[in-house]
Structure 1
Amino acid sequence: MRPLTSSIKNRHLDRSAAKWRNHRISLLPLALLATSLASAQTTIEPSAGAVTSPVTNQQTVPDAPRLNLPPITPFTAAPASPAPQLSRDEAVDTSPTRSAPKGLRPDFLGFLGPYRRATVPQLFPGTGERLNSLVKEGKLYLTLHDAIALAIENNLDVEVERYNIVLADTDLVRAKGGGSTRGIDFTIQEPQNGVGGPGSPLLNTAAVSTNPVTPTVTDLTSLNSMVQSQQNLSEAGTGSTYSQGPNIPLYDPSLFAESGYLQRSNTTTLTSTTGTDAGSTTTTQTGSLKYVTANVAYLQGFSTGAQIEATINNDSSVVYGSASQYDPFATVSTSSTVTQPLLRGRGREVNLRYLHIAGNNRKASRLLFEQQVLETIYGTSRLYFDLVSLGENVTVKQESLRASQKLVEDDESQVDQGTLAPIELTRARALLGSSQFDLIQAQGLYRQQEVILRDELIRTGSPVFAAQFTEIVPTDRILVPDQPDPLNVPDLIQQGLARRPDLAQAALQIKNGEISVKASRNQALPQLNLYGNVETRGSSEQAYEQLGSTGTGLPTIPQNFALGGLRTSTIYQGGVQLTLPLRNRVAQSDAARDTIQLRQAQARTEKLANQIREAIENAVIAVDTAYAAYKAATTSRDYQEQLLQSERDKLTVGSSTNLLVVQNETYLAQARSTEIAARSNWKKAQIDLDHAIGNLLDRNNIKLDDAISGTIANTQP
């Protein structure tokens, strides 16, 4: 109850207190600035808070640490300008077995193995074992490690990137057979933004009024929190592809066979050239001759560019034979040819280029998967700690609402007794409505964040996630250390340049570009082939045939597949075959363009390295700034507690009013919200720094091989 005093005294106290409050609020930033220059340090003693859901009014705020504001550490050392040589060479033995196709590499002894189509398992529906163990009484109790493990095991963006590793494996098999690579996906999905942490009234709004500030967020229907962006880590520009280059040898041997039935009837026409019968003709027709035809050819290419071609047929017997023959291999014609390019298409470096590119892409697919896991850990951690902070903010709003309700109850009692003007009750009820709005808003943001985090961790449409829960209760809390670890920016930049998987895979793209440029330069050379041929019952000179394929792996049927000559003809031949483009403008243009595209990719990679340097430097600044802001917010909250206690003491002796006490309680609630926001910002700045360096896996004790296999060990960091 308010002490019985005259209404004149009450009005005088109200005006005096309001006037003093205006001066105090306007001078508060100066007080904080002065405090930031103080050298005294105190010890942080954080205490663990409750872990139940704030939406159900069961959560308590952990005790906040008390610190003085330190100066922000200036950035003095400049990072080294050149990028260090990347030394990462990721092992590629681990594969996502649950997504890998069966029968892609057939058994050598199984003759029908190469003709059995590979089968790919159905989309993995996720695993609900971990989720089932975490749900208790309809609530999902989550540590950060559990949240990260659930996301890596079940998140669809991570699952898509697992298939990218399998895609790279198929390209490797294709290249071994003499085919070109079809490429991998270089896009990375970032998690949803989420609603973010709680707003900070004192940091976002000028404190110039004695009344509580308006909420920082008023749009409760915004869907911006569900926006998901995409990164394309390809260093190739839009529409930029390297030229095809020389043909690729057919490493997979090909066997051609043809057999059939042939019936031949010979007609002989004789013309007399002498005597009285000169010019007369006599036609003689023999009986039908019957044959079984057979044509067989073998074709194979080698990494030097050489190609062997062997054919066997009975064309000579079928065309020139005088008797029927049902054994197609009784008298056969044979031809064996070896061809070796001397300029265009010569050498293992050119002819194995797609195999080397496929190997680099296989390494790159693992690095891209690591980048996707990093993004998932980064997003999950951010969503998790935002949920923690939003829950703490709900508790602060609940305390503010209880204080407003108490004021209304006290004023109603005094109005009934006639000791308080009704306008004061109206003011108290307006304050109560504002507190109710703040709580509704805070609870709505918390629930939205719950939904976004839930969809990040599990597949809500999959039947394996049968465990039902209505709330997510984060059990980890944000603890700010007494003294942060010193941050050496040049060392962190060197770590980031050596660890970042996106930069490592960009370097592999540069290697692939260099391989393609060498191939396009080789394509600009004349075609000069050396050949040797041996034929029995041969028919003609060696034909000029295309070697290899354009990367399709489809062979060209030999021209002498079904040709034979006279039974007495045995041919030995050898020589060179030359194709000399007289202007060669297409090949020259392709070679120049490919080199230009390589320079573009090198520039983009260097830009990525510069962006990594910038991101690490800014992340360090953000960590220092967030830590200083947190200490300032803690100091401000401490001052507000002292002011509130002073106002309560004055109320007990009749020197204050309930309204001033409640206003101080409101300001304390705002200071606590600001402290929560500052603590959340510091934690997210730390996560941003780890993300910029690329060590989020080590920080959270996640092994990449476990992430690829889709089973995370239950080991807390």
Structure 2
Amino acid sequence: MLKPGISLYLAAVLCPFLGFAQPRASEGGVSRTGPPLNFRNSPRVHELIRAGGLYLSLADALELTIENNLDIELERYTLLVADTDLLRARGGGTVRGMNFTLAEAPTGVGGPLSPVLTNPAATGSATAGSSVTTNALELGVLGSPQTNLSMQGTIAQSNGTSVPVFDPAIVGQLNWTHQTTPQSNSVTTGTPSLISETTLANAGIQRGFSTGAVAGLMFNNSHQALNSLRTAYNPYTGSNLGLNVSQPLLRGFGLGLNRRFIRIAGDEQKIGGLLFQQQLIASVYGVIRLYTDFVALYQDVKVKQESVMTAERLLSDVSAQVEEGTLAPVEQTRANAQVFSTRQDLANSQGLLEEQEAILKNVLTRQGNEDLEVRAAHIIPTDTLEIPPQDNIQPIQDLV
């Protein structure tokens, strides 16, 4: 059954994944390490293949979607991107933004809010066979609609002064210079060539604060040696230790101004969880629609096969009556045309079923038809379509 129990099943399946999408405050914004990329199908795909058939229920289709669908897998990395952006903002960097585009399931043979392309086989009279487009490109069944939920682009705009670097930075400089300078007058230096050696060794630490202040502690050292005979102090060594603190009082002052990218990254982290939920809901809805259309096409093929068998029996009976002389020969021609009409309808229905099967395999697996076992297996739905005896329509007053 497709309708009964779907709500409870979806709640049980989706709750763990929706919980994974929520930002975890206990982590303190530290980025999660994502699993390595894996483009192999989950073992469940091969467990459902028996005797060359992929026996698939709606529950199995939903589980395979959550395990193998690449759109959902891609959206999982959006959570990691949001965590990395938050970590970058806490260090004083600007946010790089995230992708707000969601990919929906392919339209399939039916497509959202449109009937499945099936034409009933003609019975009782000789009519022309139905002509149905069976080219996937003409049908547009392979197209995957995309929804962009961003209102202002990938990167959230935020005007203002530059943010100081909050991460402590250790800076240092080590330099040695040897220089020989010919002298045109040796009176000032006492030597025809002035040779100097200079060594610099500086080190320090710098850090910015949320108020806009920047503090730096520097220890500078320099050593210089000359071969000059006229220099009273040679070699020369100088050192100094300094603490510099600068705090803007107007432009660039304030916690709200300098922590704005941290707040934006925190909001993007929450949005990333919501995007994952939305992608999960869109994929589940698309799979339910594709599976329902596949079941309808699968049953339509069975109906067309029965129509072919009925038309062939009718042709056999009409041929026997024509041989006995109880019917005119034109009735045999009409019955023969009916057989070919139903066969054409059957071929059209089988083509649509195969297209829908290929689309469903591509959504439920990571490798699609590249997996030889999956390519050779035909999907056999185990759930059927049932029309409820009556529609439970609630009064408008209860819906308000």
Query: Does 1:375 pair with 2:282?
Result: yes
Give the match for residue 169 of structure 2.
254
8 A contact 2:39–2:367 mirrored in 1: no
When residues 216 and 366 of structure 1 are mapped into structure 2, their CA distance, relative to the original with a 3 A threshold, is farther
8 A contact 1:92–1:366 mirrored in 2: yes
CA distance in 1, matches of 2:311, 2:369: 45
Deviations 1:189-236 (A, max 9, x none): 11111112545769xxxx9x9847766652222422112221111111
Task: Give 1:310's match in structure 2, choosing from 217, 231, 238.
Answer: 217
Give the match for residue 193 of structure 1.
107
Query: Does 1:324 pair with 2:235?
Result: yes
Deviation of residue 255 (structure 1)?
1.9
CA distance in 2, matches of 1:321, 1:161: 72
Give the match for residue 160 of structure 2.
245
8 A contact 2:362–2:369 mirrored in 1: no
Give the match for residue 379 of structure 2.
472
Give the match for residue 45 of structure 2.
131
8 A contact 1:407–1:428 mirrored in 2: yes
> Which 5+ residue runs of structure 2 have no aligned equivalent?
2-18, 26-30
Task: Give 1:228's match in structure 2, choosing from 119, 144, 150.
Answer: 144
- Which range is displaced more, 380-389 or 339-348? 339-348
Deviations 1:280-338 (A, max 9, x none): x963548967554212232110111111022221349889992336xx7xx52122211
CA distance in 2, matches of 1:321, 1:298: 35
- Tell me which amino acid in the other structure corresponds to 1:160: L
Task: Give 2:245's match in structure 1, choosing from 335, 338, 358.
Answer: 338
Task: Give 1:283's match in structure 2, choosing from 188, 194, 204.
Answer: 188
When residues 153 and 220 of structure 1 are mapped into structure 2, their CA distance, relative to the original with a 3 A threshold, is same
- Tell me which amino acid in the other structure corresponds to 1:369: F
Query: Does 1:167 pair with 2:78?
Result: no
Deviation of residue 428 (structure 1)?
1.0
Deviation of residue 461 (structure 1)?
6.0
- Tell me which amino acid in the other structure corresponds to 2:63: A
8 A contact 1:125–1:462 mirrored in 2: no
Q: What percent identity do the matched residue pairs reach?
A: 37
8 A contact 1:128–1:465 mirrored in 2: no
CA distance in 1, matches of 2:357, 2:146: 23
Deviations 1:516-550 (A, max 9, x none): xxxxxxxxxxxxxxxxxxxxxxxxxxxxxxxxxxx
SS at match of 1:420: coil
Give me the TM-score of the superposition, normalised by structure 1.
0.46
Task: Give 1:93's match in structure 2, choosing from 13, 21, 24.
Answer: 24
Give the match for residue 60 of structure 2.
146
- Tell me which amino acid in the other structure corresponds to 1:229: P
CA distance in 1, matches of 2:130, 2:232: 100
SS at match of 1:283: coil
Deviation of residue 384 (structure 1)?
0.4
Deviation of residue 339 (structure 1)?
1.1
When residues 490 and 458 of structure 1 are mapped into structure 2, their CA distance, relative to the original with a 3 A threshold, is farther
SS at match of 1:342: coil
Give the match for residue 450 of structure 1.
357
8 A contact 1:316–1:333 mirrored in 2: no
- Tell me which amino acid in the other structure corresponds to 1:231: T
Give the match for residue 439 of structure 1.
346
CA distance in 2, matches of 1:131, 1:222: 25
Deviation of residue 459 (structure 1)?
2.3
Deviations 1:648-705 (A, max 9, x none): xxxxxxxxxxxxxxxxxxxxxxxxxxxxxxxxxxxxxxxxxxxxxxxxxxxxxxxxxx
CA distance in 1, matches of 2:309, 2:323: 21
Larger radius of gyration: 1
CA distance in 1, matches of 2:160, 2:395: 47
Provide the aligned C-alpha RMSD in A: 3.7
Note the 1:579-598 alignment, pairs <5 A.
Answer: none
Deviation of residue 437 (structure 1)?
1.2
SS at match of 1:258: strand
SS at match of 2:305: helix
SS at match of 2:141: helix
Deviation of residue 421 (structure 1)?
0.7
8 A contact 1:187–1:232 mirrored in 2: yes
SS at match of 2:244: strand
Deviations 1:95-149 (A, max 9, x none): xxxxx886xxxxxxxxxxxxxxxxx875321343111211101110111121111
CA distance in 1, matches of 2:43, 2:251: 58
Give the match for residue 322 of structure 2.
415
8 A contact 2:126–2:337 mirrored in 1: no
More strand by share: 2
- Tell me which amino acid in the other structure corresponds to 2:233: S
CA distance in 1, matches of 2:324, 2:124: 28
> Which 5+ residue runs of structure 1 have no aligned equivalent?
1-45, 47-87, 95-99, 103-119, 267-280, 494-717
Give me the TM-score of the superposition, normalised by structure 2.
0.79
When residues 169 and 417 of structure 1 are mapped into structure 2, their CA distance, relative to the original with a 3 A threshold, is same
